[in-house]
Amino acid sequence: MKVYITTYVDRATHEGPILDESFSASFAVGCHAMAGTINGFLDHTQSSLTIFHWYLNGRRIGEIEQTALSSAACGVPQVMVSGDEAACAEARAFFNPVETAAVKQGVGRNRAIAYPPDEARARIRDAARRSLALVGTARPFAPILPMEIKVEFTRSDYCDQYMDRAGVERLDARTLRWVTTDLGDWHPHRRPPRGARPRL
């Protein structure tokens, strides 16, 4: 059995570590809640500076759901999430079954009550152990396809930079939209430039 633990992506390419169908499950460790979450410690989605909201089929999503989409694109279920209380609540609202490990409680965006390190480590270890029982029964994140992705930026010039991407529609000064059947196609950076030859 292999368990994939998500790590930081390259911000230039938005590419993460290698994941394929040979993995049994994925964990998302050290997460935060999506932008706009009350008492979500450092809540944001991708970028506090450039992104206001991200939507999947009309429902707001954050990075927890985005990592689950990337895992699902490889047929891998995301079975465990750790982070603050708000992040864990978000995961439980989207995924069932999923195991969570809360290691801090947000008391506003920039303040949190952190649980003692030994307790936090024990919570993560216990959730990871419990989540292994889900392998074989948990299914990859499965939104209705084709899925509609919308990204609402904080400023119009952040929206401008993606207008050369194939299939991207501009809804207003700050909002992009595209429709796809590819679960990994949730970021405009992953879309090919308009007129590009398809990859074989």
The answer to whether residue 149 is domain-embedded is yes
Residue 12 pLDDT: 46
User: Is 200 within the bounds of a domain?
Assistant: no
Cross-sheet strand order for the sheet of 99-106: 3-5, 25-31, 78-84, 99-106, 112-114
Tell me whether residue 198 is in a domain: no
Query: How large is the angle between the packed helices 85-94 and 63-72, nearest 10 degrees?
Result: 40
Residue-by-residue pLDDT tens, the chain, 200 positions: 666 565 545 444 555 556 888 889 999 999 999 999 999 999 999 999 999 999 999 999 999 999 999 999 999 999 999 999 999 999 999 998 999 999 999 999 999 999 999 999 999 999 999 999 999 999 999 999 999 999 999 999 999 999 999 999 999 999 999 999 999 899 888 788 887 655 44
Q: For residue 33, what are the domain limits? A: 3-190
Q: Which residues pair with 180 in a beta bridge?
A: 147
Does residue 195 sit within a domain?
Answer: no
pLDDT of residue 161: 93
Q: Per the domain annotation, does 196 fall within a domain?
A: no
Per-residue DSSP letters for 78-120? EEEEEEEHHHHHHHHHH-SS-EEEEEEEESSTT-EEEPPHHHH
Which string of b and e fits 140-170 if b means at least 16 CB within 10 Å? bbebeeebebbbbbbeeebbeebeebeebee
Would 175 be classed as within a structural domain?
Answer: yes
User: Residue 20: what pLDDT?
Assistant: 84
> For the chain, what is the domain count?
1
Domain-embedded: residue 199: no
- CATH number assigned to the domain comprising residue 76: 3.40.50
100 within some domain: yes
What is the per-residue pLDDT for 143?
95
Which pair of tokens denotes residue 27? 């964990």
Of the candidates 140, 172, 144, 174, the residue with the CA atom closest to the CA atom of residue 19: 140
Indicate if the alpha-carbon torsion angle 34, 144, 99, 71 is positive or negative: negative
